[in-house]
Amino acid sequence: MLRLRAPAKLNLFLRVLGKRSDGYHELETLFERIDLADDLTFQKQPQGITVTCDDPNLDCGPSNLITKAAALLQRSCGVSCGASIHLAKRIPIAAGLGGGSSDAATTLVGLNQLWNAGLSLPQLRELAAQLGSDVLFFLEETAFAIGRGRGEVCEPLKGTPPTVWHALVIPPVPLSTKDIYGGFDGTTGRGLTGSTASVTMLVHALRNGSLRELAEGLFNDLQPEAIRRCPVIEEIQRCLLASGCLGTMVSGSGPSVFGLCQDQSHAETVASDVRKDGLPSWRIAVVKTDGNY
């Protein structure tokens, strides 16, 4: 039996550069791996792929990214052996935290090992790109990376990463990534923004360990559309700022919102303030950069 963690991500920066002819959007994004993680266990079985999950809300059928990743790897390597995969779900679903993509990447890595399939990292990357835009990032052994293209170009940031602390708040409103991108395309009158924020500024801030600069550079082109569909995001952001967060932003296509904190004790104070002042349905967590890489 093999047991692996599948960590979540935040997008500290996400700029949409334009729409591509394949229907996807050209992006420039900065990923941060965080220590909120799903747990996956893999076991060989004579044939077939069986996926189970401790969360009854998750569909474990053919549309699940774990099932898709396992089937893709099996087909690509001509493996006849099967596997049973159990997911302990900790990352909220459809929240902008990349949980499904991380599960898919971990499935590729786990089954490559379990089945002795022998695929190299570049070969795994090719499969990852077929599964989804964020899957590639989770194959990289790095805490921070810049994503480009539709996400299939991933540039890890080398060097010892700083540990960044966040208060993370997730309202119970699942948002579909496809719908958020669809809304961004002009139905709301919000086209490409003219902001001058840049990913270079954030990379510089991380290298200097400057939280102030990091806070100033937080940016997400998808935030306005996420707020339009989930207006409570604005209230969450007010709570986070009132509690002293240096900056706050929606992650990915939302609705998760993170507040940038000074350190662990500040993040814990912010989380307890938001628990007191916010709605009981909000999920609130203290998370930090996943420094295992």
Distances from the Cα of 265 to the Cα of 103, 183, 288, angstroms: 30, 38, 12
Whether residue 46 has a cis bond before it, omega within 30° of 0: no
Q: Which helix (H) or strand (E) holds 33?
A: strand 25-45
Considering the complex, state which of residue 29 and residue 74 has its C-beta at the smaller distance from ligand C5P. Answer: 29
Alpha-carbon distance of 171 to 239, in angstroms, equals: 13
Alpha-carbon distance of 293 to 282, in angstroms, equals: 30
CB 81, min distance to ligand C5P, A: 28
CB 293, min distance to ligand C5P, A: 22
Considering the complex, state which of residue 161 and residue 252 has its C-beta at the smaller distance from ligand C5P. Answer: 252
Q: Is 288 a catalytic residue?
A: no
CB 131, min distance to ligand C5P, A: 8
Written as one letter, the residue type at 17 is L
Considering the complex, state which of residue 221 and residue 273 has its C-beta at the smaller distance from ligand C5P. Answer: 221
Which residue bears the tokens 């916010």? 278
Residue 265, Cβ neighbours under 10 Å: how many? 11
Beta bridge pairs of residue 40: 4, 87
Considering the complex, state which of residue 24 and residue 235 has its C-beta at the smaller distance from ligand C5P. Answer: 24
Q: Is 89 a catalytic residue?
A: no
Q: Cα torsion at 272, 274, 278, 284 (round to 10°)?
A: -80
User: Interface with ligand C5P by CB under 6 A: which residues?
Assistant: 24-25, 27, 132-134, 150-151, 177-178, 181
Considering the complex, state which of residue 180 and residue 239 has its C-beta at the smaller distance from ligand C5P. Answer: 180
Alpha-carbon distance of 237 to 249, in angstroms, equals: 8
The angle formed by the CA atoms of residues 83, 117 and 139, to the nearest 5 degrees, is 85
* CA distance from start to end of the chain: 23
Distances from the Cα of 73 to the Cα of 99, 221, 262, angstroms: 19, 34, 42
Active-site residue, from 38, 103, 134, 273: 134
The catalytic residue positions are 9, 134
